[in-house]
Amino acid sequence: MESRSRLFLLISSSLLCTLPLLFWPSGAAAAASDDNEPLIQPQIKPQPVKPARIDSENFEFGIFTGLLSVEDFGSNAVSGVRLAYHASEDIFVEVAYGRSTTQQTSYERLLGSVTLLTEEQRQLSYYNLALGFNLLPGEAFVGSGHAFHTDLYLIGGIGSTRFADDDRRTLNFGFGYRAIMNDWLALHLDARDHIFDIDLLGTQKTSHNLEFHTGLTLFF
């Protein structure tokens, strides 16, 4: 019994002594390679660089109000909205919508009892799509401390005018003056001729309808 326990102790102690020897060389190599690397691995992920967005201000939206002279139907107040896209420093495209209420013709006023149009038919509205060209860009000075960017532009396009229950094909052209107060606010002065055919008073004729308006627009 005693010899058996001695044998067990001998085997186990010899095993305990040889085991480290068996694993020593590989363990030493591993320790040597560890010395070259930092103990703590910093976790670096390449950060995707997202550049800040550059704010583009090529759209211009605004309102206008002024005077529209409708041939035979008097000069009347007109108001509307416009949206423009500036494609380059020279060229822009514009969509505009305006409306006005026309007056009685001289013929109706003189005769008194005659009415050519109903109240609803006297409402005039138009829309147009136009191409603008900044012809004379420049600067305007107010006093000695303020300079505003200005443009004198030519503009022309096609559209439709709804008047007296009919949609009328309309050509428009004119010029305008834009004074940019700061980076985003501009004042407009515009003169426009709306040309459409009308046959309300007997014969078909081409009418020129002049509009002068002033407006305020925002660049965004």
Partner 1 sequence: MCRNKMPAILLTLLLLLFTATATAADEYRQAKIADPFIELHSGPGRGFPIFYVAERDQWIKIIKRKTDWFKVEIKNGTQGWVHYDQLLLTLTPAGERTQINDPSGADFLHRRTEAGVLGGKFSGSEVITLYGGYAFTRNISTEVALSQALGTVSSKQFINLRLIHQPIPEWRLSPFFAMGVGNLRSQASATQAQAQDRSDSVAHVGIGLRSYLTRNFMLRAEYNRYVVFSSDDYNEDLREWKVGLAFFY
Task: Check binding of 142 to partner 1 (CB under 8 A).
Answer: no
Nearer to partner 1, 34 or 199 (CB): 199
Distance CA 180, CA 201 (A): 43
Task: Check binding of 83 to partner 1 (CB under 8 A).
Answer: no
Please, what is the minimum distance in Å from the beta carbon of residue 101 to partner 1?
A: 9
Distance CA 80, CA 27 (A): 86
Length of the chain equals 220
Selected from 8, 23, 107, 184, the binder of partner 1 by CB under 8 A is 184
Count the neighbouring beta carbons within 10 Å of the beta carbon of residue 175: 17
User: Which own/partner contact pairs does 78-82 have at CB distance under 8 Å and 24+ positions apart?
Assistant: 78/211, 78/213, 80/213, 82/215, 82/217
In the beta sheet, which residues pair with residue 95?
83, 129
42: Cβ–Cβ under 8 A, 6 or more apart, which residues? Answer: none
Task: Check binding of 76 to partner 1 (CB under 8 A).
Answer: no
Please, what is the minimum distance in Å from the beta carbon of residue 130 to partner 1?
A: 10
Site residues for partner 1, window 43-72 (CB under 8 A)? 49, 51-58, 61-63
Residues that bind partner 1 (CB under 8 A): 49, 51-58, 61-63, 79, 81, 85-89, 93, 99, 121, 129, 137-139, 147, 149, 158-160, 164-169, 183-184, 197, 199-200, 216, 218-220
